[in-house]
Amino acid sequence: METGLQKLITSEEDDDEEMEMDVKEEDSGDDEDGEKHVDASQMMAGVDGEMPTISNNNNRLQQHHQFQEQVGTPGGGGARRCRPLEEKERTKLRERQRRAITARILAGLRRHGNYNLRVRADINDVVAALAREAGWVVLPDGTTFPSKSQGPRLAGVNSAAVTSSSSQIVSPRTPASLKGVTSGYQSPGELNASNTKGVYLPSLSPYVLPSSAQSQGSSIVGDGAGQTESHPLSGGSLDNVGYKQIVDIPLKLQERDFSSTAYIPVYVMLPLGVINMKCELVDPDGLLKQLRVLKSVNVDGVMVDCWWGIVEGHAPQEYNWNGYKRLFQMVRELKLKLQVVMSFHECGGNVGDDVCIPLPHWVAEIGRSNPDIFFTDREGRSNPECLSWGIDKERVLRGRTAVEVYFGCMRSFRVEFDEYFKNGSISMIQVGLGPCGELRYPSCPVKHGWRYPGVGEFQCHDQYLLKSLRKAAEARGHSFWGRGPDNAGSYNSQPNDTGFFSEGGDYDGYYGRFFLNWYSRVLVDHGDRVLSLAKLTFNRTCIAAKLSGLHWWYKTVSHAAELTAGFYNPCNRDGYSPIVTMLKKHEANLSLACTELHMLDQHEDFKEALGDSEGLFWQVLNAAWDVCLPVSSENALACHDRINYNKILDNAKPLTDPDGRHLSSFTYLRLSPLLMERDNFMEFERFVKRMHGEAVVDQVYSK
């Protein structure tokens, strides 16, 4: 064993010079302990003030080695034994392994994250790169402070002072998954050149000082024009400045200016119960007043749900559009646009549902005798929220398949409102593809006891989907795989509590990969079938599909909440690419929620759930933009304050996207008396102007 280790050391000696230095540093402790036992006269050689000579040091080293040989023998008494050779070699091997892992991490950061890291980067380089990505400024000496999107820092610092001495400049925060972003690193020469040539440099200071504070800051630093830019962090020290005086200066947060940016249309979603179960318009006078107020602030249009349970509620192929006719006429007279959602799901029981609109009565009757037309969990509980995708091709709905039922309703709508399509009043049709109108499995039903942040359950246990699963297993040659996972926990389980979703669990085994591939493929095939008929029905009108943002457990390896919903998106696989490819095939827009969910970071359960709503948003957005798919969005939670409006704006119009891409439209959720309150509506009006790229008066507000 000793011979093999020596050969290994000899073969890798040149490649591991830095590692050898680390190992020598570890061994230095042994040397110091050994020196304690050297003759006292040698230890006191420099007491009289004379520096030991090199020869004396060599003699001490020889005596030290001789002493170690003596104490290493059985007759050495109780002295401390020297470190065995095998242990030293194990330390070296561990160091080589650590360096190999570090090299892989650095390679991944460079390849997938656009990190500008040198070949022999160390931990300091990595931490600095991560800090810059988070929007912080890192100076050459290691001084770090927040940039524009972060909290307050010293008010006496401005961008000109920092760029005059710093060798790095950091652009505003860019999402990690945003591709094509160039590095923010510049050399001192480049910085000087950019200062003289007038090239745009992002401001490193997110704060502006009132005139009185600016004069005070100038007097603190020094007198004369030549000294006004000499600030503490630009190369000087804090010794020359009263630190407390600077911190006490009132701060104002400067917002990003969206004037002259791209025009993004803004729509407002109407209340869920604007049409009652008799297909009558509820409170037309009150609604007309609210629509006029929306028009006064240049809102582009409204979004409304056309409920299958209302339109075809009583008998198959008997459609009632009376309430929608009156509503659409009112909207058109105000010269507002319409986005229409073909809602083939029930309303009620989910977060935000304030009315109850079930599926058509005749469908419920069929479901009572054949509950397998609905999605079913492992315990056999059916969910009547929407129809199972297993009956897309099964004639169990009075002689029709589920896809034929959807097609009939969409075709009736197209014929009934033909004039609105011809004159362009209807700008988009969003096709409902699952629960809440979203393309996903109903994996987290509140009515079955699910509570955030449970992983949910797989919904594939109705007889039609199980038949498809068994068929797929037999085609694979493993008929015993024709079943759902039995170790995936329950609705409120956490990933590490299950054998399927835990790190190294069955989700990444042979059976797990087979099952998840089949489960996600059923989702994509369903969207493919319905959207193909929607494209045929609505012809030249834009169609769209909605995806939800199941962000909890996004920072775990399995992404359990996404897996149960049908998104096969673990840490080593992009589960959204097949979906956006399918949407691109039908020239359909992608409607995406969760643009402002950063507010949940303050929720105590959110951190425990290892969620990342922003990371998920940018992953899906980049997947869509990679295939040039237009993306619209809506807020997932009620929004009335400027902080969340600014977050939506930043995501809608990414500042540092190299191609200048942005959202195609935004839908505000939703019209309510709370929105119409004076202060809330003033903030909303300001948000609409900035979405439209118009200038606003008060770009600076008090922190």
- The residue-averaged pLDDT of 62-77 equals 45
Report residue 589 CA to chain centroid gap: 20
pTM higher than 0.75 for the full model? no
Percent above pLDDT 90 for the chain = 55
Residue where the block lists tokens 């304690």: 36
What is the pLDDT, as a whole number, of residue 230?
Answer: 37
Taking the alpha carbons of 80, 84, 87, 88 in that order, is the dihedral positive or negative? positive
pLDDT for 652-682, tens place per residue? Answer: 999 888 888 999 999 999 999 999 999 999 9
What is the pLDDT, as a whole number, of residue 594?
Answer: 64
Does the annotation count 438 as an active-site position? yes
Instruction: Report whether pLDDT(404) > 90.
Output: yes
Q: How far apart are CA 167 and CA 54, in angstroms?
A: 42
Instruction: Report whether pLDDT(492) > 60.
Output: yes
Residue where the block lists tokens 């198959």: 316
Query: Per-domain residue ranges for the chain?
Result: 97-133, 266-692
pLDDT for 131-185, tens place per residue? Answer: 877 778 887 778 887 765 444 443 333 333 333 333 333 333 444 444 333 333 3
pLDDT for 54-67, tens place per residue? Answer: 444 444 445 544 44
What is the pLDDT, as a whole number, of residue 565?
Answer: 98
What is the pLDDT, as a whole number, of residue 136?
Answer: 80
Does the annotation count 634 as an active-site position? yes
Active-site hit among 89, 312, 346, 438:
438
pLDDT for 423-448, tens place per residue? Answer: 999 999 999 999 999 999 999 999 99
Q: How far apart are CA 440 and CA 524, in angstroms?
A: 9
Q: Which among 98-112, 247-261, 465-479 has the top mean pLDDT? A: 465-479
Q: How far apart are CA 235 and CA 238, in angstroms?
A: 10
Classify each residue of 171-204 as buried b or exposed e, where b means 16 or more C-beta atoms within 10 Å of its C-beta.
Answer: bbbbbbbbeebeebebeeeebeeeeeeeeebebb
Q: Which residues pair with 701 in a beta bridge?
A: 253
Q: Which CATH homologous superfamily contains domain 266-692?
A: Glycosidases (3.20.20.80)
What is the pLDDT, as a whole number, of residue 120?
Answer: 65
Active-site hit among 562, 614, 634, 683:
634
Q: Which residues pair with 161 in a beta bridge?
A: none
pLDDT for 313-345, tens place per residue? Answer: 999 999 999 999 999 999 999 999 999 999 999
